[in-house]
Chains A and B, each alone.
Chain A
Amino acid sequence: MTDTTEERLEALGLRVPAKEMPKLVALVGDLEKAAASMRGPRPYGQEPLSGFRLPRP
């Protein structure tokens, strides 16, 4: 697992100009905060609906 946003960008094959990095880093930080608020175990009944549906015979 890489650590910095720059290293993760490089691992993904993404090139972002240096002058754009501060805003990107801030945005990634906001997304991480949002994600952290939603982590945790949940029952099966709260799983998202699957897009896979078999037709009725």
Chain B
Amino acid sequence: MSGDPCFLTIAEASRQIRAGTLSPVTLAEAFLERIAGLDGRLNSFIRVLGDDALAEARTAAAEIAAGNWRGPLHGIPLGIKDIYNTAGIATTGHSALYRDHVPAEDATTIRLLREAGAVILGKTATWEFAIGGVSFDLPWPPARNPWDTALDPAGSSSGSGAAVAAGLCMGAMGTDTGGSIRSPAAWNGIAGLKPSYGLVSRRGVLPLSFTLDHAGPMCWTSEDCALMMQVLARHDPMDPGSADPGPIDFTSGLGSGIRGLRIGVVRHFFEADAPADTVVTDAMESALGIFAGQGAIIRDVSLAPLETYYDLCALIMGPEAYAIHEQGLTRTPELYGSIARRRIAAGAFVSGADYVNALRLRARLVAQAAAMMQEVDLLVMPTRHTPPEPLGEFDTIMGARFYTRPFNVLGLPALSVCSGFTGNGLPLSMQIVGRPFEDALVLKLGDAFEKATAFRDVRPALGESVAA
């Protein structure tokens, strides 16, 4: 596997492309060949855009050869979760309901990626409309985990996570309403950033929950997420939730050291509220040791109980999702899979008063978290309480099972990185959380951790040798 261009990071490939030692066409061909050879076992793509991708790669190669290098994503092959609208290309939400939905326009983020010269390899599998869970009654099968295909890659950006980890694309777009970027990042052993609320446009993304939805990148490394964020973070007046915090430099701070950073450990989440497996907490303690060894200041901090965030998230997501899907559910319920149908229908039972009460409490929790984060620069905790579990249905709407949802409620930037491996080689995870619009600092800590460890040197075997 060593030397395979499919296992370069975006940063490495970009340097080679710019130097003229790697052709975007060669790169696209290598990825398409790898998808053809391996994705029958992973189901990470539901639509591969082979001809289009090769045409985009040829265009990129010609532009770069003519001296018109657009930036670090020029010629880089990406996967796109199939809830992002792509002009002239079916965007299904992995649902029979949208099987023939062909948008006329790209989502804002897809337009930005195209303008940056990225090559779009295809559309990746998702839970149905980003809520349906692992379903076997949809037009396409669920994605599988490349570290062990009997295991769940987590969702809802399941195909994006599996594809990045397996070397079927260099980066991918995911969306995150309760953890749908960070959970598959965790269980596929990659980096995934849920940006600050408002930092990345959702226009042209099939919505699930207006006030909880986030769009963001999933890559092998935090550095690669930073390169994608440099393109994706733009104010979009067509997304009412879009913020305009001004220009943000996501990359120049990488590698500059973490001495003096104040890191808060939300220990009650993973020791009391929803205890994590010992192998997860051991990896967490090792990470804290690395941070302390590099001069960071570590202390324990508290947020509201995890269960409170879970209740709140469900009471907000439920009616917002039902409002979006009411027509589809009442007119053509048979076109939904059973899990999505049930989960979305439940939102009809939340009263207007209860929804408003949840928003009231949300405002209090946002203020509490802002006050607490005056005392620390970043928060850390595991992302998932276990390594990947067997592929199968579980209900993620209720029950405090893992640690992602608080940061959808709070709108804070949150990154999942690989924190190590179990004894049998399954990935573990750590989550890094920052203040609003301090996504660059979040990525800086993730990058520092990845570069201080060897966890980025190991890829899923998939029947091959495991040295990347």
Interface residue SS majority, chain B: helix
Q: Which residues between 165 and 216 of chain B lie within 8 Å of chain A, taking CB atoms? A: none
A54 at the interface (CB under 8 A from B): no
Contact B345–A46 (Cβ < 8 Å): no
Q: A39-B353, A48-B359 are in contact. List 11 more A-B contacts (CB 8 A).
A: A12-B330, A16-B342, A17-B338, A27-B346, A31-B349, A34-B310, A38-B361, A39-B354, A39-B357, A46-B360, A48-B363
Contact B346–A28 (Cβ < 8 Å): yes
**Closest Cβ neighbor of A47 among chain B residues:** B360
Complex Cα spacing A57 to B351, Å = 37
User: What distance in Å separates the Cβ of A20 from its nearest Cβ neighbour in chain B?
Assistant: 5
- Give me the interface of A with B, judged by CB distance under 8 Å: 5, 8-9, 12-17, 20, 23-24, 27-28, 30-35, 37-40, 42, 46-49, 51
Pick the residue among B329, B342, B351 that contacts A20 (CB under 8 A).
B342
Inter-chain contacts of A12 with B (CB < 8 A): 330, 348
**Closest Cβ neighbor of A23 among chain B residues:** B342
Stretch among B38-46, B311-319, B445-453 lining the A interface: B311-319
B333 at the interface (CB under 8 A from A): yes
Contact B315–A38 (Cβ < 8 Å): yes
Q: Using A12-B348, A20-B338, A24-B345 as known contacts, say yes or no to A30 and B357 having CB atoms under 8 A apart.
A: no
Q: Which residues between 329 and 351 of chain B lie within 8 Å of chain A, taking CB atoms? A: 329-330, 333, 338, 341-343, 345-346, 348-351
Instruction: Supply 25 A–B pairs (Cβ within 8 Å), ascending by A.
Output: A5-B349, A12-B330, A12-B348, A14-B348, A16-B342, A23-B395, A24-B342, A24-B345, A27-B346, A27-B395, A27-B397, A31-B318, A34-B310, A34-B398, A35-B315, A35-B350, A35-B351, A38-B312, A38-B315, A38-B354, A38-B361, A42-B357, A42-B360, A48-B362, A51-B240
Complex Cα spacing A37 to B357, Å = 10
